[in-house]
Structures are given as structure tokens and as C-alpha cells.
């Protein structure tokens, strides 16, 4: 049953949440009245993440019950109406989706708004098709622009989406990308609005045709060329330039005149002063200032001095450029004087890195982001949109205006080759050369794009509900009501979302509540610990509302180990179990994704599941026993992909590696405040006895046939890639190397040294190869029979040694002094001996006084934390954690897991 049977344009009765209304307007009025009453409740306004805004502004943005610019009171009603209650007898089984997804950004829906980060809806569709079924309800708790709901609507079959985001502009965009839209009526309204403004302001963007064709600009003298005609063209954009002063003579010049080489379509690296002839760098020129009467504040205001230096305009389909004449300058000046009667809001920018980025230029209020003519044009559009009679059309018109605002502002950069030149992604940067465009044309183009890209909505029922609140408290949703979760959480310190969004939200009058924002931000005083705690709270809510045995997908882009670990440990602390990591390629990166030193070309996608109720119940009954270990492993192996294909070959399924299986088991036990009842070597031996092994991976008996069938079709076995970054990974690398090729020290040393490259962790002490070998492996000294590990390698690779007895002198001579990986029984003895030595060194760390440890062994810390955890000695974990640099703690998943849980247990016991 659809939520909306008849759209507003057609009129007639509509059904919403089981109620029938005479029209969509009647539906809107009914729920608006209920929301208005709800907003008067002070308890409701204390909901986590409640935005900053008046009742009037919130109601003006909202379209209840589908969308509220505040916490949505109808989430539970929506889920009850669209979903189905959880039943333990329900049949559901999925492996994690393991295919790497590649989808480009050049889709009309993706480009409908200029929001900072988005995942292409066609990529999300792949996950929805895999994890969900007909009539399932999907949650996106960090919904951004609502692409999950767009994807879900395209998949269809009655699927529904619950969208939640802290940002009012994000949920506003989501509403417009997922609401109903009569595209014909909408574009008519936009065209009529622009035509009305042009009629009332006929000369707003007109300029006398005295210029040259843009393509001819290299062959004319710009200052002397005059067009003989008397026509008028329409301004496309004006190029504004900073005025700068020469450090040598103090003469003032437009930055454009000294920096732009029009003949070469480029910016000069060295700038020559036309007055004194001195050549200097750009940084040596000083920005000039002027004091003007602020058009909105009505008081003197000091700002960077910028002047129009070029007008780009069109006549028909032809583009021209000209030097601004007196009439052009007068038109711009007149607009500045009209600003004091505009509908533009007077809003001071909030504190923050991005919002205060341009404070030295005098940009302290929202309206300072706009040049005089563009400020006036935006004000006219705002006034017309706010008086629009149709609520649905009015919101869609505001959507088009917010979409074009960054491009209509001073953030639109100049490019000498005239190709593009939009705002710098992920920032509020204002440059020395800006090209604010014709706002009316820009607005109309956006409206046409929106009408085209969203025309499908008129034929589709509304299948989503949107709430503006924090994901840390989804109290409106009952337990176990969601079938699948797809989220794209904030990427650590990549973006200052609330600061960037303030540019739009201040215009709408409803602003993000920053206290619940999950980011790393110096301006908000939030570090990686705060970020992780907010993620834990959010993931805990996702875990609560998700049905047992169902999946969560986390898409994110950040290569910092601390952020990766924050997400992984947050998932584990919330009760999820990670089953797979794949890649999602957006094909085109934002500026930061391409240019920064920590950039990655592909986003990563984590697949994690909520264990079924049976596993939790059995653990509660058995406690920290060996049965609980193998029960978890048995359950976990069922959730892992059996085969991962890459091209024509097989890819190693890392989650089936015994070492990673042990890590997942430890995380499961730690999350349940229980010690792991066996060592790593005991675990690996138990794994070998209880499960089947193929190519270094563990399988259930019923999974092996499928793997063997695929393995028989490829020539080469898949291999796990090991990246040596600390002592543990160095040991793992040596183990893999020596299993394949038992070697003497002199043979092994050069191979090992090549692994200790730039990826080594900053504070981790680099171990000596000799010490690693003696603590973890065995050297054959030539006494007794040649160990079978060495014998198998030599007889395979040396023809003259085949068929020899293990005591043959030739074989013994060739085998002597080779290091090899011990068999499981001896490996356990070595592990116990090594752990004893590690704990002895841990006691030294514990007894050390003074400042933080600058260099240490992570293996020592891990052994100490594990032992302290088993003894419930949480204070020792916290004490040592305070002695090591925070980045070292945040970048190690194992230490972070124990530390996080130690803090939680200490706070619970307080």
C-alpha cells in the first residue's frame, strides 16, 4: 500500500499513514497543525540534535509527516505502517556483498544539488538489491542528501526508507530529492518568477555590446577594441579582482592585471609591478582594503577591496567579453544601495575554521559572501519564493536557489581558460579572482536540471520519511524494526559539515546543533576520542533498531588509521561483527580526495552484521568458555563470503584468515566483558582441528565444495597481501615466508629489510630480525633428523635431495641453520615463553615514571592489556594508555578496543 495515492497536482483524495485526506494540501495542513503543537513541548525540543531555529522557520521548511526540519514524531507510525514485525522464524540469509562497485557522479540526480559529499544512488542500489527484499524498511542514519532513499525508490517492490541527519540543509535536500514533484508546474513557476523579476528590473543584467568574442580575446587589444554596434547583451558573469599593493613602491594594481596571462590562459608565477618594474612573488603583494557602508547593517564596514575588471556576456548563443564601462559600474553600485530593503537575512557567521576562513577579508556575515548585484538578485528571488502560494512548489524553488548559491557567491573562482571555475569543494574559500554569475540564469538552469532529474517522482509513491536529529538517539524507533542499514558517516576531520552547511542553513533560518556532530574539529574542541564516542552511540542505536541476523553497510573515505579504527571499534563496541571490506569507486574525487597526502582513490565499504538472538542467548548461558569460542566462529564463518572474484582470478578472503578470525573472537568476548579462554596459538590449533582449511583460509564443511569448484577453475591460489607496519605484522610476514621457504639468516635478512619501509608505525620500536626469529621460530642446528617443514621445501626445490632419508648427510648439510615455522604444539610453547617475556617488559613500562613513552613495542602493550583485561584490572590499561601518544593508541585497533572497554567498565563501576 502506497503512502500517497494521488499527488497534489492531480488533486483528489490522498492516503497518508492509514488516514485519508481530501487533498495533499489538506494532509499538509493537518500534520502541520500537529507539528506546531509538538514544537511547543519543551521536552520535545530537548531531543538530541534538535536544530537551532524558530517554530516558524521549522514549519516553513517541513512537509510532515514525510519530512520535518526537526525530530520527526511520526517515525514509529511510518515503520508500523510500512514494515513488518521481527519474527525469529523468518527465513533470511545473506553473505556480505563482496563485489567492488564502480559508479560515476555524472547523473542528473547526483548533480541536482551542490552538497559536499554524496554516494551515487546507482551504487547504493547494488547493496539494497543484495541485502533487502520486497517491503523491507531501510535506515540511513547519516543520510546527507538522501541518496539511499533515491536508490530504494528505484529498486522498488514496496521498499521504504527512514532518513535521519543532524543537518537541516541535508534533510531539506533529501526531502526535495525524495518528495513528489510536478515538474511541469514547477518549471513554469520558476520561469514565471524569473520573468517577473526581469520585468521589474529590466536592466539588472544588461550590458552594452562593446566587446569582443571570447574566442577572439587573444587577437585583440582589450583596452582599445570597441564594437561598432549599439546592441545590449545579458551578463553571464562579472570578473572581480582583488586590489593589491606593491611591496616595493606601494602602488595599487588589480590582481588580474598583473597575474593573468590571457594569451597563455594561465596565471603568472612571478608578478611585475607596472609602476616600478620590480618582479616579486604573489605573497609579497599586500591586499588593499576599503571602508564602505554595509548595505544591510547600515554601518561602516572594512573589507578587502575588489573591483570588476571584465564582463562576460551573451547575445543569443554567442559569448563576448568587455572591460566594464561607466554604465556597468553604475548598475553594480545601484544594486548595492538597494540592498538595505532586501529580503536577505542578517546573520553573523558562527565561530569555526571554515566560517572564519575569510574573516581577514571582512566576511563576517552571510551577506558578505555576495557581490552587490548578486546580493540584490538573491534577495529578489528569496522574496518571491517566500510569497509563493504553493507550499510544495515553494520548497522546490528554494531547493533550486540553495543549489546555486555557492556558484552565485564570491566562492566561484576564475579560470583563465574560461573552463568551469566553481567553488573549491569542501571549503568556504574566497579567492583573489572571482566570477559571480547571473543569479537569475543560474537559478533557472538549476530549476530545469531539477525538473528533468526528478520528473520520475510524479509517478512514484512516497516511500521515505525524513527526520532532522542526531543518530545518537533514535528513541522514536522501536527495537528490531529495521531490515537493513546503509550509512555514509562523517569522515573524521575531512569536512567541517556544520560550518559548511551554515552557508545554506542561515538562509533557511534553521541551523545544525553542533553538540551531536560526529567529526574531529579543533574549533568545536572535538578529538578522535569524541568522534569515536559519538559513532559508538550512533552505531548502538542502529544495532538496537536492526533486526537480528540483518546487515549494516558503512561506506566511508578516510585513509587515517585512527579514523578507520574509530569506525571499526565503534561497530564492535555497538555489537556488530565485521564480515567484509570492499571498494566503492566514485570515479571522480572531490578536491580533497584528489589532492591531500592522505587521499585514497576509492572509498571503502564495511559489511557488518548483527548476530542472531540465538548466539547471544547461548553466550549468556555458557559464558567465557571454549564452547562459546567455537560457537562464535561457527556462526561467523556462515556469514563470510565463500568466494571473492577479481577479474578471472580468486581473491583471498581476509576475514577467513585464522589471525583475523582470532581478532574478531577477541573483540566479541571483550564486548561482552569476558576474557578469551585460549591463546592465539591454541585458537589456531583448535581451528585446524574443527574446520577445514583451503589456501590458508578456514571454511565450514558445507562451504568447501563451492570453494573447491571455483578454485579448480583458476591457475593460481589466492594469497593474502601482508603489509609490515609493526612487530606483529612483521612476525606474520616471517611466518608466511618461512612456511613457503625455510631460510638461513643471511638469505632472509635482505628480504626482511625491504619490508620495513615508509609504512612503519611512528612510535613502534623496530625489532631486530634475530630477536624475532629466536622468539617465534625454530632454527635447525644440524642435530637429529631434518624437520619435515625443511625437508618438504628442499626435496621439492632440489632434484638431488629428493628421496633422501631425513638423516642423510647431504640433506642435513643443506638444511643446517635454516629457520622454519614450528608445528602447532611447539608453537604454543614458544608463544607462552614469548608472552612471559612481553609481560615482563610491560611491567617496566608500568613502573616507568615521567613523561609519555616515545618509543615502545605494541606487542608488549597488547599482551599487557590482554592480561589486565582478563584480571579486570581496568586501571592498569587506562594508566598505560595515558603514557603513550594518543595517535599511537588511536591507530591500533586492538589497544583501542581494550582501552575503550576499560573506560566503559570503569565509568559503569563508578
Q: In sequence order, what DSSP letters do the residues of 54-94 get, joined into one string?
A: -HHHHHHH-BTTTEESS--TTHHHHHHHHS----TT-----
Measured CA to CA, the distance from residue 700 to residue 695 in angstroms comes to 14
Give the end-to-end CA distance of the chain in Å, rounded to a whole number: 51
pLDDT score, position 109: 67
Measured CA to CA, the distance from residue 520 to residue 495 in angstroms comes to 9
Cell representation of residue 869: 583485561
pLDDT score, position 389: 62
Measured CA to CA, the distance from residue 599 to residue 596 in angstroms comes to 5
Cβ atoms of 51 and 69 closer than 8 Å: yes
Which residue, among 140, 81, 31, 109, has the nearest Cα to 461 in the 3D structure? 81
Measured CA to CA, the distance from residue 224 to residue 841 in angstroms comes to 81
Measured CA to CA, the distance from residue 364 to residue 870 in angstroms comes to 55
Measured CA to CA, the distance from residue 32 to residue 60 in angstroms comes to 9
Q: Running along the chain, 910 residues long, what does each successive block of 10 average in pLDDT?
A: 38 89 92 97 95 96 96 97 91 85 61 69 92 96 93 92 97 89 87 94 94 66 48 94 96 95 84 94 94 92 97 93 95 80 88 94 97 95 84 86 93 83 88 96 91 64 92 96 95 81 95 88 84 93 97 81 83 92 58 37 81 90 95 95 85 91 92 89 92 95 94 86 84 91 93 79 86 93 92 89 87 94 82 90 86 85 92 92 87 87 79
Return the number of other C-beta atoms located less than 10 Å from residue 153's C-beta. 23
pLDDT score, position 9: 41
Measured CA to CA, the distance from residue 291 to residue 302 in angstroms comes to 4
Q: pTM surpassing 0.85?
A: yes
Q: How many CA atoms lie within 13 A of 28 on its CB side?
A: 16
Angle of the 147-155 helix axis to the 121-131 helix axis, nearest 10: 60
Question: CA distances (Å), 878 to each of 281, 572, 673, in order?
Answer: 51, 19, 16
Which residue, among 101, 898, 877, has the nearest Cα to 565 in the 3D structure? 898
Question: CA distances (Å), 608 to each of 486, 519, 530, 546, in order?
Answer: 11, 22, 22, 12
pLDDT score, position 337: 79
Q: Is cis: bond before 65, omega within 30 of 0?
A: yes
Question: CA distances (Å), 806 to each of 719, 742, 789, 791, in order?
Answer: 30, 15, 11, 7
The alpha carbon of 121 is separated from its chain's Cα centroid by a whole number of angstroms, namely 15
Measured CA to CA, the distance from residue 310 to residue 791 in angstroms comes to 81
The pairing of strands 433-434 and 232-245 is antiparallel
Which residue, among 116, 51, 147, has the nearest Cα to 500 in the 3D structure? 116
pLDDT score, position 559: 56
Backbone angles phi, psi at 160, to 5 degrees: -130, 160
SS3 736: helix
SS3 437: strand
pLDDT score, position 585: 60
Backbone angles phi, psi at 774, to 5 degrees: -65, -30
How big is the chain, counted in residues? 910
pLDDT score, position 584: 65
Measured CA to CA, the distance from residue 787 to residue 46 in angstroms comes to 70
Beta bridge partners, 694, equal 697
Which residue, chain included where needed, has cell 591500533? 892
Amino acid at each position: 500500500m502506497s503512502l500517497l495515492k494521488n499527488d497534489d497536482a492531480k488533486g483528489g483524495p490522498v492516503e497518508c499513514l492509514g488516514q485519508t485526506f481530501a487533498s495533499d494540501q489538506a494532509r499538509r495542513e493537518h500534520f502541520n497543525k500537529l507539528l506546531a503543537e509538538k514544537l511547543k513541548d519543551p521536552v520535545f525540543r530537548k531531543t538530541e540534535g534538535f536544530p537551532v531555529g524558530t517554530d516558524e522557520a521549522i514549519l516553513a521548511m517541513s512537509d510532515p509527516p514525510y519530512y520535518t526540519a526537526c525530530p520527526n514524531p511520526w517515525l514509529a507510525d511510518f515503520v508500523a505502517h510500512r514494515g513488518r514485525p521481527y519474527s525469529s522464524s523468518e527465513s533470511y540469509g545473506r553473505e556480505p556483498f563482496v563485489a567492488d562497485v564502480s559508479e560515476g557522479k555524472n547523473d542528473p540526480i547526483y548533480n541536482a544539488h551542490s552538497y559536499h559529499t554524496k554516494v551515487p544512488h546507482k551504487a547504493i542500489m547494488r547493496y539494497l538489491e543484495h541485502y533487502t527484499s520486497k517491503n523491507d524498511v531501510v535506515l540511513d542514519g547519516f543520510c546527507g542528501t538522501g541518496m539511499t532513499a533515491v536508490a530504494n525508490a528505484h529498486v522498488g517492490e514496496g521498499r521504504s526508507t527512514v532518513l535521519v541527519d543532524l543537518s537541516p540543509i541535508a534533510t531539506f535536500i533529501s526531502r526535495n530529492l525524495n518528495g513528489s514533484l510536478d515538474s511541469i508546474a514547477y518549471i513554469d513557476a520558476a520561469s514565471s518568477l524569473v520573468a517577473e523579476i526581469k520585468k521589474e528590473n529590466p536592466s539588472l543584467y544588461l550590458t552594452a555590446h562593446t566587446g569582443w568574442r571570447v574566442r577572439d580575446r587573444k587577437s585583440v587589444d582589450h583596452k582599445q577594441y570597441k564594437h561598432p554596434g549599439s546592441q545590449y547583451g545579458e551578463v553571464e558573469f562579472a570578473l572581480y579582482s582583488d586590489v593589491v599593493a606593491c611591496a616595493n613602491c606601494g602602488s595599487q594594481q588589480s590582481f588580474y592585471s598583473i597575474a593573468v596571462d590571457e594569451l597563455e590562459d594561465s596565471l603568472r608565477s612571478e608578478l611585475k609591478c607596472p609602476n616600478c618594474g620590480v618582479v616579486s612573488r604573489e605573497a609579497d603583494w599586500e591586499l588593499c582594503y576599503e571602508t564602505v557602508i554595509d548595505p544591510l547593517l547600515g554601518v561602516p564596514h572594512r573589507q578587502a577591496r575588489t573591483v570588476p575588471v571584465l564582463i562576460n556576456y551573451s547575445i543569443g548563443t554567442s559569448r563576448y567579453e568587455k572591460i566594464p564601462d561607466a554604465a556597468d559600474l553604475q548598475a553594480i553600485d545601484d544594486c548595492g544601495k538597494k540592498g538595505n530593503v532586501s529580503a536577505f537575512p542578517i546573520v553573523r557567521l558562527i565561530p569555526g575554521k571554515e566560517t572564519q576562513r575569510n574573516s581577514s577579508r571582512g566576511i563576517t556575515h552571510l551577506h558578505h559572501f555576495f557581490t552587490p548585484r548578486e546580493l540584490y538578485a538573491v534577495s529578489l528571488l528569496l522574496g518571491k519564493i517566500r510569497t509563493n502560494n504553493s507550499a510544495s512548489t515553494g520548497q522546490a524553488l528554494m531547493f533550486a536557489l540553495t543549489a546555486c548559491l555557492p556558484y552565485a557567491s564570491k566562492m566561484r573562482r576564475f579560470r583563465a581558460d574560461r573552463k568551469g571555475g566553481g567553488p573549491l569543494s569542501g571549503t568556504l574559500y574566497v579567492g583573489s579572482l572571482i566570477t559571480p554569475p547571473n543569479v537569475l540564469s543560474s537559478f533557472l538552469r538549476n530549476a530545469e536540471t531539477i525538473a528533468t532529474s526528478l520528473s520520475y517522482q510524479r509517478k512514484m509513491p512516497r516511500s521515505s520519511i525524513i527526520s532532522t536529529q542526531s543518530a545518537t538517539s533514535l528513541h522514536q524507533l522501536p527495537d528490531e524494526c529495521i531490515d537493513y542499514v546503509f550509512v555514509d558517516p562523517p569522515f573524521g576531520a575531512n569536512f567541517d559539515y556544520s560550518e559548511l552547511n551554515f552557508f545554506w542553513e542561515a538562509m533557511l533560518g534553521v541551523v545544525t546543533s553542533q553538540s551531536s556532530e560526529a567529526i574531529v574539529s579543533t574549533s568545536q574542541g572535538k578529538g578522535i576520542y569524541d568522534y569515536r564516542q559519538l559513532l559508538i552511540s550512533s552505531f548502538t542505536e542502529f544495532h538496537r533498531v536492526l533486526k537480528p541476523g540483518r546487515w549494516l553497510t558503512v561506506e566511508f573515505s578516510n585513509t587515517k588509521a585512527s579514523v578507520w579504527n574509530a569506525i571499526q571499534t565503534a561497530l564492535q563496541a555497538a555489537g556488530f561483527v565485521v564480515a567484509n571490506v570492499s571498494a566503492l569507486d566514485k570515479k571522480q574525487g572531490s578536491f580533497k580526495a584528489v589532492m591531500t597526502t592522505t587521499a585514497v582513490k576509492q572509498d571503502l565499504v564495511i559489511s557488518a552484521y548483527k548476530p542472531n538472538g540465538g548466539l547471544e542467548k547461548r553466550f549468556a548461558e555458557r559464558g567465557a568458555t571454549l564452547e562459546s569460542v567455537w560457537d562464535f566462529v561457527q556462526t561467523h564463518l556462515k556469514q563470510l563470503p565463500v568466494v571473492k572474484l577479481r577479474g578471472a582470478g580468486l581473491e583471498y578472503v581476509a576475514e577467513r584468515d585464522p589471525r583475523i578470525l582470532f581478532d574478531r573472537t577477541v573483540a566479541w568476548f571483550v564486548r561482552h566483558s569476558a576474557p578469551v579462554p585460549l591463546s592465539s596459538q591454541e585458537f589456531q590449533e583448535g581451528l585446524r582441528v574443527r574446520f577445514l582449511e583451503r589456501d590458508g583460509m578456514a571454511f565450514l564443511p558445507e562451504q568447501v565444495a563451492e570453494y573447491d569448484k571455483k578454485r579448480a577453475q583458476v591457475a593460481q591460489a589466492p594469497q593474502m597481501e601482508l603489509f609490515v607496519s609493526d612487530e606483529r605484522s612483521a612476525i606474520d610476514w616471517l611466518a608466511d615466508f618461512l612456511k613457503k621457504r625455510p631460510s638461513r639468516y643471511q638469505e632472509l635478512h635482505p628480504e626482511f629489510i625491504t619490508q620495513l619501509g615508509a609504512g612503519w608505525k611512528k612510535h613502534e620500536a623496530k625489532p631486530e630480525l634475530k630477536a624475532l626469529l629466536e622468539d617465534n621460530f625454530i632454527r635447525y642446528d644440524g642435530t637429529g633428523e631434518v624437520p619435515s617443514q625443511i625437508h618438504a621445501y628442499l626435496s621439492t626445490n632440489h632434484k638431488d635431495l629428493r628421496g633422501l632419508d631425513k638423516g642423510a648427510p647431504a640433506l642435513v648439510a643443506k638444511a643446517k641453520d635454516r629457520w622454519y615455522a614450528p608445528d602447532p604444539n611447539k608453537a604454543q610453547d614458544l608463544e607462552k615463553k614469548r608472552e612471559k617475556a612481553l609481560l615482563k617488559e610491560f611491567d617496566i613500562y608500568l613502573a616507568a615514571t615521567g613523561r609519555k613513552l616515545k618509543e615502545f613495542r605494541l606487542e608488549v602493550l597488547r599482551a599487557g592489556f590482554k592480561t589486565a583485561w582478563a584480571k579486570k584490572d581496568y586501571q592498569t590499561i587506562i594508566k598505560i594508555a595515558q603514557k603513550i601518544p594518543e595517535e599511537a593508541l588511536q591507530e591500533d585497533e586492538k589497544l583501542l578496543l581494550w582501552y575503550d572497554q576499560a573506560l566503559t567498565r570503569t565509568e559503569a563501576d563508578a
